[in-house]
Amino acid sequence: MLSARRLSVRQFVLGLIFSVAAASAAGADAPADTLAKVRDTGQLVIGFREDARPFSYRDEAGNPAGYSVDLCRRIAAAVKDALGMDAIDVVFEPVAVGSRIDMVSSGAVDIECGSTTHTLERREQVDFTLLTFITGAEMLTRVESEIGDLGDLVGRNVGVLEATTTEQGLRAALRAQMIDATVETFGRHEEGLAALEDGAIDAYFADRILLLGLAGEARDAEALQLSGQFYSYEPYAFMLRQGDHGFRRVADGALAALFRSGQIWSVYDAHFGNAEPSELLVALFIVQSLPKR
């Protein structure tokens, strides 16, 4: 399947991806040991988002679902195999945007499988697996508003999910371009979509792939449009505790095996359908196809 998705990304971009993906997080004072915990209790706790479709959400039956959730199920299977256990109890625990880092660092969950951007600042509190996805923030607007870019937001109300890198990037971009717009934050993407549809805000910012899923749930998808411009770079990865080196090796090994075998594309297709992957995403999967030995 990889042959159908041609790679033509400049070499320096590949190097950038590899350096970010392979970087080590700072060690913790008291290293965590999730593998020992799972061996003792038989339980692995996975944190997931309920509102980050198509990465992490509850399906119609109320069960955890999504691209990231499926990848974490593969990681759970790898943990079971690494420990030589017949079965483990995989528990899914909901996490919110504002609490996800604390829930990982405190040990409330062993790994967070959502749509979290890997940043150097966050690595001061948690560690990350290999990158799992790359996207960027875009702007969703009503067609009738005739908003085309940031310059059209002067005097407007815009929305964004609270406590995210997108919020930070949006505020910085508005300041840099001296655009006087009012930024309203929301706790859930669905709240932002409702505000946009009702006219309470004029634009809603989020990662492009999340906006595509969000627009699909709109009352009138044809009345909404994407800007077609990226305003940020968002490399996703799964958070785990600092110093949890054994668990990270197993998690990274499971992800690398998916990339190496090409099975990642069956997971991608299951959640993104016919959406053509970006060249950057194809490059990500290739450079992280790390050999086992």
Residue 69 has pLDDT above 50, yes or no: yes
Count of Cβ atoms closer than 10 Å to residue 18 Cβ: 16
- Report, as an integer, the average pLDDT of 17-45: 69
Q: Are 74 and 81 in contact, with CB atoms under 8 Å apart?
A: no
What radius of gyration, in Å, describes the C-alpha atoms of the chain? 19
pLDDT confidence of 123, banded at 50, 70, 90? very high
**CA–CA separation, 111 and 241 (whole Å):** 8
Give pLDDT, residue 31. Answer: 60
Domain spanning 144-226: CATH 3.40.190.10: yes
Domain 2-135+234-287 -> CATH class: alpha beta
Percentage of the residues of the chain whose pLDDT score is greater than 90? 79
Residue 15 has pLDDT above 60, yes or no: no
Tell me the average pLDDT of the chain.
Answer: 90
Percentage of the residues of the chain whose pLDDT score is greater than 70? 89
Domain limits of the chain? 2-135+234-287, 144-226
CA angle 193–207–231, rounded 5-degree value = 110
Q: What's 73-142 look like in SS3?
A: HHHHHHHHHHHCCCCCEEEEEECCCCCHHHHHHCCCCCEEECCCECCCCHHHCCEEEEEEEEECEEEEEE
Which has more pLDDT, 203 or 214? 203
Domain 144-226 in the same topology as domain 2-135+234-287: yes
Residue 174 has pLDDT above 90, yes or no: yes
